[in-house]
A and B are shown apart, each in its own frame.
Chain A
Amino acid sequence: QVHLVESGGGLVKPGGSLRLSCTASGFIFRDYYMSWIRQAPGKGLEWVSYISSGGDTIFYADSVRGRFTISRVNANNSLYLQMNSLRAEDTAVYYCARGSLTSVWYSFDIWGQGTMATVSS
């Protein structure tokens, strides 16, 4: 069974840091591009970051560039999101999502259940 499991969320004060992890199973992780996508309470989906299968191509949303860092360790089937200088507006459920190799133009066919990050004093 194909699974993505996120962890690392929690409550942090403004200006603090969190490191999110996503562990993949049931597929050859190193073959797939991945993304982090977040959803603030009661709001829509907001893409956060993308990383290619080999980790050599990375993109960020303007709202997080310079504060968040995406990375992966293919040998460990793991995706990470280091979040620094956190703000209240970063409060959201963070999903990791697998890129679809069937899709020509970058869709996401498997999603984890998400991990909640709350930034509050």
Chain B
Amino acid sequence: SYVLTQTPSVSLAPGQTARITCGENNIGFETVHWYQQKPGQAPVLVVYDDRHRPSGVPERFSGSTSGGTATLTISTVEAGDEADYYCQAWDSSSDHPVVFGGGTKLTVL
């Protein structure tokens, strides 16, 4: 079954570009989705199916995949982007198909 691995934390200054990665142990997971969770709030979907943004999500948020690693890129980072970010995938070969990564805490210095 899938295991999604995320770097625990990323820190950068406002205006920089954040790249948050999600590595998968089996080559060829279908797609990855990304959620943003701010303290005390429920998660919010920011990217689905690797690279698509739901309505209302700023264009600064983008997703991509390459060689078994998915990346959430946040350009021109703002203080309001400080949050935990989780990747999620669906393992169609498993009877427990929904898998979340461990999360990455983005700190804006």
Seen from chain A, the residues whose Cβ lies within 8 Å of a Cβ on chain B are 35, 37, 44-47, 50, 59-62, 65, 95, 100, 102-109, 111-114
Contact = CB atoms under 8 A, between A and B. Distances in A.
A106 B98 contact: yes
B42 A95 contact: yes
Contacts of B96: 47, 59-62, 65
Interface stretch (B13-21, B28-36, B73-81): B28-36
Nearest to B101: A44
Contact of A59 (B54, B98, B100): B98
Nearest to B50: A105
A44 B100 contact: yes
Contacts, number: 76
A100 B45 contact: yes
Interface residues of B, number: 27
Contacts of A100: 45, 48, 54
A45 B100 contact: yes
B33 A107 contact: yes
Contacts of A62: 96
Contact of B49 (A35, A46, A104, A108): A104
Contacts of A113: 42
13 contacts: A44-B84, A44-B101, A44-B102, A45-B103, A47-B99, A50-B97, A100-B45, A105-B49, A107-B33, A108-B88, A111-B44, A113-B42, A114-B42
